Amino acid sequence: MWNAELQGAFDPGCGPLRLDSGAVYSALRTPHSPLHYMKRKQRRAQRETSAGGVVFRRGTDGEPRFLLIRDSYRNWGFPKGHLKTGEPPADAARREVAEETGLSDLVLHGPIRVIDWYFRFRGKTIHKYCHFFLFESKQGEPVPQTEEGITDCAWFGAEEARRTISYDNARAVLEQATGMVQTLAPGVPGGGGG
């Protein structure tokens, strides 16, 4: 009876609807919420892990300035890149900062946070996780790694950096890094102060 009622019910010009094991369920179920599709997307996504550095330097007035890089798409953010096999995230972050900006004399102040996002690349969905670390640079001028598409490196005050950064999740990293820098005593690696 069910079969007879459904034949031709969806498109009378296409003949009877085939009802095999899953077809009735798929043809009749209610559409899923966006959350369902996001979960499907998450299951199919390829995971990638990278690490990056938020680099600061105190100006002559003692206020921190943050180093941003501009990519080939004209987006501003922080230096970051893939981890090498077996490489700890903090080491990868230091290496990426050095490669992309030329700054190598960096003091590590600790982890900031891990952010994640989805994007499409060559037909695949990628779920990227990026570990960010706070570094202090006291000397040297940054030089963009042009062969990797870095078109500029520049120092910005906290508020100007917040306005310049292209992505919301990177802005959140900056906000947390700014709070960390405020707790550091100027000139004391790793700590103290208030």
pLDDT for 162-190, tens place per residue? 999 999 999 999 999 999 999 997 755 55
DSSP single-letter state for residue 190:
T
Q: Which CATH number does the domain housing residue 150 bear? A: 3.90.79.10
Whether pLDDT at 5 is above 60: no
Q: Is residue 162 part of a domain?
A: yes
Question: What pLDDT was estimated at residue 44?
Answer: 84
pLDDT at position 61 = 92
Q: How many domains does the chain have?
A: 1
Q: Which position has the token pair 């100007």?
A: 160
Does pLDDT of 16 surpass 50? no
Q: Is residue 36 in some structural domain?
A: no
Domain of 87 in residue numbering reads as 45-183
Residue 70 has a CB neighbour count (10 Å cut-off) of 18
Average pLDDT over residues 61-84: 96
**In the prediction, which pLDDT does 7 show?**
41
Q: Is the pLDDT of residue 15 over 50?
A: no
- Determine the Cα angle at 53 with ends 136 and 188, to 5°: 20
The answer to whether residue 16 is domain-embedded is no
Cα–Cα distances in angstroms (integers) from residue 191 to residues 6, 9, 40, 109, 161, in the given order: 72, 72, 44, 8, 23
Whether residue 115 is contained in a domain is answered as yes
Contacts of 141 (CB under 8 A, 6+ apart): 102
Split at pLDDT 50, 70, 90, the class of 19 is very low
Would you list the DSSP string of 5-20? Answer: HHTTTS-GGG-PPP--
- Range 47-53 average pLDDT: 97
Q: Where are the beta strands (DSSP E) in 71-105?
A: 76-77, 80-82
Tokens of 56: 């600061």
Residue 21 included in any domain: no
Q: What angle do CA 128, 94, 158 make, to 5 degrees?
A: 80
Q: Which of 14-23, 59-68, 137-146 has the lowest mean pLDDT?
A: 14-23
Residue 80 lies in a domain: yes
pLDDT at 194 over 60: no
What is the average pLDDT across 85-111?
97
User: Which pTM does this prediction carry?
Assistant: 0.74
What is the model's pLDDT at position 4?
41
Is residue 156, in this structure, part of any structural domain at all? yes
Over 90: is that where the pLDDT of 87 sits?
Answer: yes
In one-letter notation, the amino acid at residue 128 is: K
Note the Cα 184 to chain centre separation in Å: 26
What integer best gives the mean pLDDT of the chain?
A: 83
Amino acid at 127: H
Judge whether 181 and 134 are in contact, CB under 8 Å: yes
Per-residue pLDDT at 10: 39
Check residues 191 and 89 and name the one with the higher pLDDT: 89
Q: What confidence category does residue 92 fall into, taking pLDDT thresholds of 50, 70 and 90? A: very high
- 124 occurs within a structural domain: yes
